[in-house]
Amino acid sequence: MARKKPAPKPEQELPPREAEPMLITRVIETNYMPYTMSVIVSRALPEIDGFKPSHRKLLYTMYKQGLLKGNRMKSSAVVGATMKLNPHGDGAIYETMVRLTRGNGALLHPFVDSKGNFGKVGSRDMAYAASRYTEVRLEPICQELFDGIDEEMVDMVDNFDGTMKEPALLPTSFPNILVSANTGIAVGMASRICGFNLREVCETAVALIKDPNHNIYSTLKAPDFPTGGELIYDRDALEQVYETGVGSIKVRSVWHYDKEQNCIEVTEIPYTATVEAIIDKTAALVKDGTVKEISDMRNETDLHGLKIAIDLKRGVDPEKLMAKLSRLTPLTDSFPCNFNVIIEGTPNVMGVREILEEWTAWRVMCIERQLYHRLTKMKTRLHLLEGLSKILLDIDKAIAIIRGTEEDSEVIPNLMIGFGIDEEQADFIAEIKLRNINKEYILNRLAETERMRAEIADMEDTLKNRKKIKKIIIDQLTEVAKKYGRDRCTRIVYDAPADEPEEEPAAEAYPVVFFLTREGYFKKITPAALQRSGEQKLKEGDGIVRRVDGTNADDLLFFTDRQQVYKVAADDLSENKVAMLGLYLPQHLGMDPGESVTAMAVAPGGEYRGSVLFVFADGKCARVSLGSYETKTNRRKLTGAYSDKVPLVAAVQLDGDKEVFLRSSADRGLLLNTAMLAPKPTRSTAGVKVMTLKARQTVISAAPAEEMGIKNPTRFRTRTLPAAGALVRAEDLGVEQTTIE
């Protein structure tokens, strides 16, 4: 009988493996810190040659493509070739190229000669054309970036995949780090270097090499920006930037007034500003009434240069207007400096003197490496010529040795034995053409030998003498300043007046009467015009809900059903006649769609005294100080004007304590003495319970008691809160109450 196989045992489930805890400090150390250092050192911050890696890779690619001479090449071809060195994508590479071009105008001395649309540094919205439409080549000044790069002046390192070599730095023959403006944001640090005039930088570098105690302010006057403008000279601010590398430089726009057209034309703006930002900010000031002198403003920038046209109203003083706009718009702006530079792999924030000293030390090393390279090549050449000179003394013997040698491989050994020379010398001699064995060739080689001995001796002496190396650097700086130096783009203003706010002329405080209607119409009418006229003209179905006697110097506050308040000076609102509908506030104040005015408060003479009583449908009241709506700036709209938890019934302005009559949907009334409520500074307070209500009952109206004509007020008064109030009889009220609809 066959035996049954035993049933398989159920597999035992292994206990779940607990995840090992990972400390956040370990994650930061192993993952985040390498990324951080890569961004800081290899991407975002410039090095002593004045370039970030992306700039350097692009320019070196163009140099290897032969674009220092000849015709331009399509930008797309340059971008594609640069991807062999820069793996960050064609978009990032092309953006890097755009900033280096002459067409974009971001640099005092552009490195890329461009053809096509590359946008403008002074425009936020002008987009550059696609790379397939534009063409580029290197500017002549790039010769100063690459001169000596093939003579081991700088280290050549592997690219990202090890398939080719690229320079770790470019051997710039002038302090490009201070000439070309540069901005970079790394992780936890940033760099922002303003540009200086090339001629002034070279002169300062030469002076510091000659005298380390040189006063740099005498030669390096101030930063220079390609967009021009006028730099407001502040010695204290400049000293802070020069000494520490951190500070701020103020630059203002350049403009002139066209009297015939009554128009101001702005032709130069600060480097940190854009045309669109200036126009947008000015338009906002015109809209909120801060600037009333402008009738129109246009961007008229074209191929001839930047131009912002500002049309003025009749009788406007252009000097005063531009002084105001300079305070309130980017027409005057500051360049924040942070001279953070990578030195031997470490970020350092340095002043101007320290940067020039570091550049000089680095440039001395580059010249030394170049001289060593040339010296090595010269010694190798001299060694070959010395062997040749031995052969040339008895050329017939050399010919005899070669002719008498049976095998080709024995020619060089036989020459070595016959003349006592080494293998390199023998190999060089064996390669000489037969036609060169003539008297002229022999004499030229002997003369070359003597000349090279003298050059080698001079070069060795130069390497031992640091002063001679610095003399080479001085000569190069002088030549660069002579070839490429040009006048300053940014003019320096030494006697600029102090930037003090101009006091606005006070509004004339003549008496007026303010009217607010249920539909949101507003009228400002003088008492004389009110007496001469008849009945108020109102929209059908509309009615006046608030009348206040005030002056033209008052501030007006309009509360809306969206818990917002709009502030406006009475002087900014035009006068009306009784026969006019008035200003439609939702449109005039730029309210949100569907928003409507519910109440009006007046701040006499712009002084925010008193309070506002907010009455809510749930029987609560909040007394908010009017000073809570006062602001130091010209803000026109404030949100959170009152609590949004319960619908608002009424907003009553209080100059002092008074009685307010509340009426509920149960036809009960209550006289509230506002002295029982303390003013609150918080606008969004929900208030305290004042009127007791039953389920589904609400407060439906509220108004000052003197406006109601109450016959027997004692019935509705209370000593404690909350209170239910008394039933309202027909004979108790002399007028109907106003409610918020």
Alpha carbons 385 and 387: distance in angstroms, whole number: 5
Q: Which residue has the tokens 């190798």?
A: 380
Could you list the beta-strand ranges (E) of 285-420: 294-299, 308-312, 332-338, 340-343, 346-349
What are the strands of the beta sheet with 555-560, ordered from one edge?
597-603, 555-560, 564-569, 637-639
Alpha carbons 60 and 55: distance in angstroms, whole number: 9
- Taking Cα atoms as reference points, which of 180, 137, 164, 138 lies closest to residue 83? 164
DSSP secondary-structure letter at 43? I
Alpha carbons 704 and 738: distance in angstroms, whole number: 10
SS3 per-residue string spanning 53-74 = HHHHHHHHHHHHCCCCCCCCEE
DSSP secondary-structure letter at 684? T
Alpha carbons 709 and 194: distance in angstroms, whole number: 73
**Exposure of 652 by Cβ count < 10 A (0-12 exposed, 13-18 middle, 19+ buried)?**
buried
Q: Which residues pair with 312 in a beta bridge?
A: 294
Structural element, H or E, at residue 522? strand 521-525
Q: Please say whether the dihedral angle defined by the alpha carbons of residues 80, 81, 87 and 93, taken in this order, is positive or negative.
A: negative
Pair 224, 196: CB distance under 8 Å: yes
DSSP, collapsed to helix, strand or coil, labels residue 670 as strand
Pair 44, 191: CB distance under 8 Å: yes
Residue partners of 236: CB distance under 8 A and separation at least 6: none
- 521 annotated active-site: no
Strands 688-689 and 620-625: antiparallel
Candidates 32, 35, 133, 510; catalytic one: 133
Alpha carbons 308 and 298: distance in angstroms, whole number: 6
Pair 583, 568: CB distance under 8 Å: no
Q: Which residues pair with 715 in a beta bridge?
A: none
DSSP, collapsed to helix, strand or coil, labels residue 375 as helix
In this structure, the chain runs to a length of 741
Q: Is 476 left (phi over 0), alpha (psi -120 to 50) or beta?
A: alpha
**Catalytic (active-site) positions:** 133
